[in-house]
């Protein structure tokens, strides 16, 4: 099992994705020799061919959340053992919205547990963060602020690179490319999902098929020989559909583009669910929910303004996704 790492290098290297053998992290732990300011976010990579789109999006958003949470609540965030002291690195586990500091000695165990879950086809939620400091005189907050700026600058630069490099693909090619990234992400098959749903193993694929037809879960057609695959965000760590998933499926049907028979392959809904949307940034949601219509800008500075995907937001804030569906439906009807 490999790892994908998002490395945010404070020495001027910017932010970049890498793929590493799991064993290399264990090796790194034994030789804590890095003393330059750097943050690395590690997660298990399910895509056998490379770094998957869902993994990249997830790591980008975990990084954003990590830096913002640290900035907001530095005093509580860096409680023991989260101070550098003599440590070469600080470690954190991000599990959805939760951040907790962990001992370096726990890292291998956590990673192994995630790896085991992934091998069993269960969703992995946790991302491990390694934070190393450069100049010993620099405060932890200073390190975080510096790395946060590096991350944000790199995030913007990635898109500039897209514009200046090779000719852009046609829309049709871009659609096929995006689908292929999702297909390579290791999303569970009908057989796997059918087993998760329970009942006789022989009827597992039929159960998954019925759940799709009843719009209780979403599948996307992977072609002959692959069948349907099922976006991972729909399932909890035990393989069960997450709360309010059926309601999500129902509400998506309110959009013209997703009416029955217009999205038989499921890819329109997948593309919608995995398209980053500025209106789902934590800041936009806070502004929307503000009871003071003339509240000043500064009231919302505490919230990160990074676009998020509906798939990413749904488990923790389904109402925000339902609101987005309402907005899109109004836009379709020309109300906005």
Partner 1 sequence: MRKPNVESSDVLEKLCPSKLQAGIYYHVYEAAWGWRATHPYSKARLALVEGRPDGTVVRNAYYLANSANAAIWEVVLRDAAPDPWGGVWVQPGQIMNRRLATIRLKRDIDIVRMDKPHRRHSVTVDSTLDKNWDRWLTTTEYVATHHAASRADRQFSEGSLVLPGFQWCSRQLQTGLVCVLYGEELDDAWELVDDIALQSESGIEAIRVALEAGGMKLVGDPTGSDFDPPSSSY
Positions touching partner 1 (CB under 8 A) are 53, 56-57, 60, 158-160, 162-163, 168-179, 181, 209, 212-213, 221, 227-228, 255-257, 262-265, 267-268, 270-272, 274-279, 284, 287-288, 290, 293-297, 307, 327-328, 330-332, 334-336
Q: Residue 52 and residue 72: Cα distance in Å, rounded?
A: 30
Element (H, E) at 43: strand 38-45
As beta bridge partners, residue 36 has none
Q: Residue 222 and residue 215: Cα distance in Å, rounded?
A: 18
Q: Are 284 and 290 in contact (CB under 8 A)?
A: no
Based on CB atoms, which residue is closest to partner 1, 55 or 82? 55
Distance of closest approach, residue 219 Cβ to partner 1, in angstroms:
8
Dmax (CA) for the chain in angstroms is: 63
Based on CB atoms, which residue is closest to partner 1, 86 or 297? 297
Helix (H, G, I), strand (E, B) or coil at 83: coil
Distance of closest approach, residue 319 Cβ to partner 1, in angstroms:
15
Distance of closest approach, residue 241 Cβ to partner 1, in angstroms:
18
Q: Are 309 and 271 in contact (CB under 8 A)?
A: no
Based on CB atoms, which residue is closest to partner 1, 115 or 209? 209
Q: Are 230 and 236 in contact (CB under 8 A)?
A: no
As beta bridge partners, residue 308 has 277
Based on CB atoms, which residue is closest to partner 1, 27 or 289? 289
Based on CB atoms, which residue is closest to partner 1, 181 or 207? 181
Distance of closest approach, residue 151 Cβ to partner 1, in angstroms:
14
Q: Residue 117 and residue 111: Cα distance in Å, rounded?
A: 10
DSSP E strands: which ranges in 58-125?
89-95, 98-102
Distance of closest approach, residue 298 Cβ to partner 1, in angstroms:
9
Q: Residue 317 and residue 293: Cα distance in Å, rounded?
A: 22
Distance of closest approach, residue 333 Cβ to partner 1, in angstroms:
9
Q: Residue 101 and residue 93: Cα distance in Å, rounded?
A: 6
Based on CB atoms, which residue is closest to partner 1, 50 or 134? 50
Distance of closest approach, residue 306 Cβ to partner 1, in angstroms:
9
Q: Would you give the DSSP letter of residue 241?
A: B
Based on CB atoms, which residue is closest to partner 1, 60 or 68? 60
């Amino acid at each position: 099992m490999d790892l994908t790492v998002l490395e945010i290098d404070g020495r001027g290297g910017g932010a970049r994705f890498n793929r590493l053998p799991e064993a290399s992290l264990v090796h790194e732990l034994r030789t804590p020799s890095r003393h330059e300011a750097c943050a690395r976010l590690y997660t298990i990579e399910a895509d056998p061919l490379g770094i998957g789109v869902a993994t990249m999006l997830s790591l980008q958003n975990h990084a954003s959340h990590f830096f913002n949470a640290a900035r907001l609540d530095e005093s509580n965030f860096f409680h023991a053992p989260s101070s550098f002291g003599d440590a070469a690195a600080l470690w954190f586990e991000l599990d959805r919205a939760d951040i907790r500091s962990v001992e370096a000695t726990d890292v291998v165990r956590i990673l192994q547990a995630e790896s085991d879950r992934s091998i069993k086809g269960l969703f992995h939620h946790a991302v491990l963060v390694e934070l190393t400091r450069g100049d010993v005189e620099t405060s932890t907050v200073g390190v975080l602020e510096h790395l946060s700026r590096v991350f944000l600058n790199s995030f913007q630069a990635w898109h500039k690179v897209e514009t200046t490099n090779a000719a852009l693909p046609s829309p049709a090619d871009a659609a096929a490319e995006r689908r292929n990234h999702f297909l390579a992400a290791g999303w569970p098959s009908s057989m796997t999902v059918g087993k998760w749903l329970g009942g006789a193993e022989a009827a597992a694929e039929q159960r998954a098929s019925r759940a799709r037809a009843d719009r209780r879960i979403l599948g996307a057609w992977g072609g002959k020989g692959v069948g349907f695959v099922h976006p991972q965000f729909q399932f909890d760590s035990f393989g069960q559909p997450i709360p309010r998933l059926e309601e999500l499926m129902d509400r998506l049907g309110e959009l013209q583009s997703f009416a029955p028979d217009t999205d038989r392959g499921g890819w329109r809904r997948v593309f919608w669910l995995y398209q980053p949307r500025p209106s789902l940034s934590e800041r936009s949601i806070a502004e929307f929910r503000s009871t003071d219509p003339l509240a000043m800008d500064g009231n919302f500075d505490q919230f990160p303004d990074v676009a998020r995907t509906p798939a990413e937001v749904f488990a923790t804030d389904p109402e925000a996704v339902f609101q987005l569906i309402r907005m899109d439906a109004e836009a379709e009807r020309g109300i906005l």
